[in-house]
Amino acid sequence: MSRYFSALPFALPSFVVGVVIAALFAKRLGTKLKERPIIVFWWLGSLMLILSATLTPTGHALEMEEGLLTTRVWTWALPSPSALFTINWQSMNLVLFTPIGIASGVFTRWRNIISLTLSAYIVSLLVEMIQYLVMPLGRTQFNSSTVIIGWVGITVGVAIGLLVRALIKKNSRIPTA
């Protein structure tokens, strides 16, 4: 894990700032969406985790040669199944995007579940596009398999979230003694 922290030195401080921002806006947004603020906080916090890990400069970005800052790579490929079952940079997207999927699945209103799940899928694509376009981040590549792995994480997360939501609904109907 320390390997990832050293490669992404700005991720943890950005995440802490993002969580504070999420806490400040969760109640107001929860009221607007007619949802519990804790679920909104979880969704916003998950979004901040994704943004802090993917849209902050890498450790080597500040030391890159001029020529490397002008080189971009665009790769269209399906992820290999091993990318989903081993620890590597691509499988980290599975880990990064699963919490936002879970949070999307536990919202109480179907409209929010659908719109925030779709938003999460779009975030996965936008992150990869921004990494490709903003060269000073030091991540000048677009890899479709990374986007797909993020989508798998979101899908798995939503399935877990919907299951948790159903269990909560079922248990709330059981009379307590």
Nearest to 68 by CA among 140, 151, 130: 140
Percent of the chain exceeding pLDDT 90 equals: 55
pLDDT band at 1 (very low <50, low <70, confident <90, very high): low
Q: What pLDDT, on a 0 to 100 scale, did the predictor assign at position 104?
A: 98
How far is Cα 87 from Cα 109, in angstroms, rounded to an integer?
35
pLDDT tens-digit readout, 139-161: 778 889 899 999 999 999 999 99
**Tokens matching residue 34:** 């007619």
How far is Cα 55 from Cα 40, in angstroms, rounded to an integer?
22
pLDDT tens-digit readout, 56-92: 887 666 666 665 556 677 788 888 887 777 877 778 8
Across the chain, mean pLDDT equals 87
C-alpha of 79 from chain center: 18
pLDDT at 27 over 50: yes
How far is Cα 152 from Cα 96, in angstroms, rounded to an integer?
11
Q: Structural domain boundaries of the chain?
A: 2-173
pLDDT band at 177 (very low <50, low <70, confident <90, very high): very low
How far is Cα 13 from Cα 45, in angstroms, rounded to an integer?
13
Q: Looking at per-residue confidence, does 177 or 53 come out higher?
A: 53
pLDDT at 44 over 90: yes
How far is Cα 111 from Cα 113, in angstroms, rounded to an integer?
6
Number of neighbours of residue 103 by Cβ within 10 angstroms: 25
Report which DSSP code applies to 106.
Answer: T
Report which DSSP code applies to 79.
Answer: P
Q: Which SS3 state, helix, strand or coil, does residue 140 take? A: coil
